[in-house]
Amino acid sequence: MIPSGASGCPVQVAVVGCGYWGKNLVRNFAELGALAAICDPNRAAADELANRYRAPVTEFEPVLRDPDIAGVAIAAPAALHAELTHRALEAGKHVFVEKPLALTLAAAEQLCALAERQDRRLMVGHLMQYHPGFTRLRELVHEGALGRLQYIYSNRLNLGKVRREEDILWSFAPHDLSMILSLVGEEPDEVTAKGGYYLHKTIADVTTTHLAFPGGEQAHVFVSWLHPFKEQKLVVIGDRAMAVFDDGQPWSRKLLLYPHRIEWREAQPVPQRAEADPVSLEEGEPLNLECRHFLHCVMTGSRPRTDGREGLRVLRVLARASEALESRSTTGPMQKARSNSAVQIHESAFVDEPCEIGSGTRIWHFVHILPRTRIGRNCSVGQNVMAGPDVTIGDGCKIQNNVSIYKGVTLEDGVFCGPSCVFTNVNNPRAEIERKDEFHATLVKRGASIGANATIVCGHTIGEYAFVAAGAVVTSDVPAFALMAGVPARRIGWVSHDGERLGPDLVCPRSGRRYRELGPDRIEEIV
C-alpha cells in the first residue's frame, strides 16, 4: 500500500517541470508523502510550489546524484522527454515521464532498452488508463460483457490548449490510442489519417485517424483544439452490448452500458434498443491513482501498466498516422512526387513507396530512398546517397555524397553528414549469418555534424551540436557540444552552436555565446 498522506512514503520522487501539468504532479506526490524535490528553470514558479508543499528546489544534476531520490517524474516540454529520461535512467533512477515518451521511435526504443538493462521502472503518463471509468470498461471488455469487439471511436475535443512544439495528433491522441490498444490487445495493421491545418500551415489543428486490426476490429480517433466545447468520449461497440465512457459526465453516468442488440429478421437487421445501465464506479482522481501506481511499481519491482513498451506501441501508431496525413505525405506514385514543385528529385534518383518528403527538399543524382523513410523540409540529399528503409531525417539536414543511412538511424533537425561518412546497424556482421533482427538504433541529435569518412558504430547517441571529426570512429555515446576525434573517438574539446571550437573561456568566437561546464563531459549555454 502507498501512504496516503504527508507521513512519508518509502519512495522519494523529484518532479522535473512544474508548469501547466507538472504542478499537478507536484501536488499529488506531495499528498502521497513522496515529493523529494522540484526542478524547473522557472525559479519563481518552482519557489511558489516549494513553499506550498515544503519541498526543496534544486537542479537536475544534484537530483541524479542524490541516492535518497529513487525516481523522477518528468513533465518538461515534449522535445526534452527523451534526453531527460535517458539521463535519469543512466543515473539509476526510476522514471515516470509524461507522454509522449519521445518524439522518435529510435529514441523511444533506446529508452526501453536502457530501462531494461538498468532494471529500472519506466512508466509513461497515459493518464486515462488509470481513470476508474476506463479501468472498469476494460474489465467489462475482457470479461466478455460486450461480446466480440467490432468498433471503437474516441473524441477528444476542446478549444485550446493550442501548442507549437507538437500538433494535435501528438498532443491529444496518445491518450485515446493508448486506451484503444489496451482494449483490443494488439497493434493495428492499417493506419490512415487526415488533418486540417488552419492556424499554422505545418501544424495540424484537427485530425481523424482510422485504425484496422488483424482481428477485424476497427477504430477511429477524432481530436481537435478548434472545437466549440469540450468533449472526451470513448464509445465501444460489441456484438452483445455497447459502452460509452464520457469523462464530461458526473460520476454516476461516466460509464454507461447499453445492451442494444441487432437481430436478424427475414434477412434484415433490426435494432433492439435498451435503456442505458449506469456502471457503478469508485471515485478517484486519475492522476493520484497513476502516481500511486508508479510508487507501487518502484517499491515492488512490478511492471507498470503503461510501461515504456506500451508507450512505444502508441508511438508506432502515432508515427504511422503522421506519415499518412495527406498534407505532409508523398506516398503516391513516383511521378506524383516528381510533379510536386515543392520537392526537387533528380530524374536519376529512385524513391520507393511509401515515403514522406518535406517541401523544399532536394534529392540529387543516383539517390535511392527506400520505403517508409521520412525526410523533413529543406533538406539536401547528395549524389549516391542511400537512406532507409524506416529511416527518419529531420528538417534542414545536409547529407553529402556517398552516405548510406541504414534502418535504425534517426537524424534530428539540422544534422550535417560529410562525404562518405558511415552508419552501421549491426555490431558484428558476417556475410553468412542473417542478423536483421539484431539491428541497433542510432540517434543523431539536433545540429550535430559528422565529418567526411567518419564511422558511427550503431547503438549510440550523438548529442546536440556535437562535432565528429573527419575519419573518427565513434564507439560510445557522444555528449552534446563535444568535439570528437580519433580511433576510437575521444573528446578533445568543445564546440559551440556555430561549430566553432571553444577555448578555456568557453566563449564562441563567432557568436559570443557563453557556456559553462557542468561536469567532465557536459556543458550548457549560459542564457
Interval 456-472: pLDDT, tens: 999 999 999 999 999 99
Q: What is the pLDDT averaged over residues 179-203?
A: 89
Residue 231 sits in a domain whose CATH number is 3.30.360.10
Is residue 165 located within the same domain as residue 272? yes
CA distance 269 to 383: 61
**In the 3-class helix/strand/coil scheme, how is 484-510 assigned residue by residue?**
EECCCCEEEEEECCCCCECCCCCECCC
Statement: residue 328 has pLDDT above 70: no
Write down the pLDDT at residue 333: 35
Q: Is 3 contained in some domain?
A: no
Handedness of CA 104, 106, 112, 114 (dihedral sign): negative
- Return the C-alpha cell found at 242: 455497447
pLDDT in tens, 344-366: 898 888 898 888 999 889 999 99
| pLDDT band for position 261 (cuts 50, 70, 90) | confident
Residue with the bigger pLDDT between 519 and 286: it is: 286
Beta bridge partners of 258: 242
Domain match, 246 and 295 both: no
Q: Indicate whether 309 belongs to any domain.
A: no
Confirm whether 349 is domain-assigned: yes
Do 213 and 228 share a domain, yes or no?
yes
Lowest mean pLDDT among 5-14, 325-334, 362-371, 419-428: 325-334
Q: Whole-structure pTM over 0.85, yes or no?
A: no
Asked whether residue 103 falls in the same domain as residue 139, the answer is no
Mean pLDDT of 387-402: 93
Sequence-ordered list of residues with C-beta below 8 angstroms from that of 173, at least 6 positions apart, any chain: 156, 207, 209, 221, 223, 318, 321
Q: 427 and 466 share a domain? A: yes
The predicted structure's pLDDT at residue 339:
37
pLDDT of residue 451 exceeding 90, the answer is: yes
Return d(Cα 373, Cα 201) in angstroms, integer.
22
DSSP state of 103: S
The domain total for the chain is 3
Q: Of 3-7, 250-254, 400-404, which range is least confident?
A: 3-7
Neighbours of 313 (CB within 10 A): 17
pLDDT at residue 430 greater than cutoff 70? yes
pLDDT score of 175 more than 50: yes
310 located within any domain: no
Together in a domain, 174 and 240: yes
Tell me: pLDDT of 239 over 60: yes
**pLDDT single digits (tens) 275-323:** 889 999 999 999 999 999 999 999 999 999 999 999 999 999 998 898 8
Could you tell me the pLDDT band of residue 213, with boundaries at 50, 70 and 90?
A: very high
Where in the sequence is the domain holding 86, given as residue range(s)? Answer: 13-125+287-303
pLDDT tens column, 31-81: 999 999 999 989 999 999 999 999 999 999 999 999 999 999 999 988 899
In a domain, 162, yes or no: yes
118 with 182, same domain: the answer is no
pLDDT single digits (tens) 69-80: 999 999 998 889
User: Regarding predicted confidence, which is higher, 336 or 119?
Assistant: 119
For residue 84, give the CATH number of its domain. 3.40.50.720
List phi, psi (to 5°) of 23.
Answer: -60, -30
Q: What is the largest CA-CA distance in the chain?
A: 88
Chain-wide mean pLDDT for the chain? 90
- Fill in the amino acid letter for 520: P
Domain membership flag for residue 1: no
Residues 198, 341, single domain; the answer is: no
Task: Assess whether 136 and 244 both reside in one domain.
Answer: yes
449 and 516 both lie in a single domain: yes
pLDDT of residue 199: 86
pLDDT higher than threshold 70 for residue 267: no
CATH number at 413 reads: 2.160.10.10
Strands 473-474 and 442-444: unpaired
**For position 3, what pLDDT does the model report?**
52
Q: Could you tell me what percent of the chain has a pLDDT over 70?
A: 94
H or E segment and range at residue 43 = helix 43-53
pLDDT value of residue 316? 92
For residue 300, which phi and psi values (nearest 5 degrees)?
Answer: -100, -15
Residues 153 and 239 reside in one and the same domain: yes
Does one domain contain both 230 and 270? Answer: yes
The answer to whether position 6 is within a domain reads no
Question: Residue 313: inside a domain, yes or no?
Answer: no
Predicted pLDDT at 91: 96
> How confident is the model over 476-507, as pLDDT tens digits?
999 999 999 999 999 999 999 999 999 999 99
> Which of 129-143, 159-173, 299-313 comes out lowest in average pLDDT?
159-173
Q: What is the pLDDT of residue 272?
A: 72
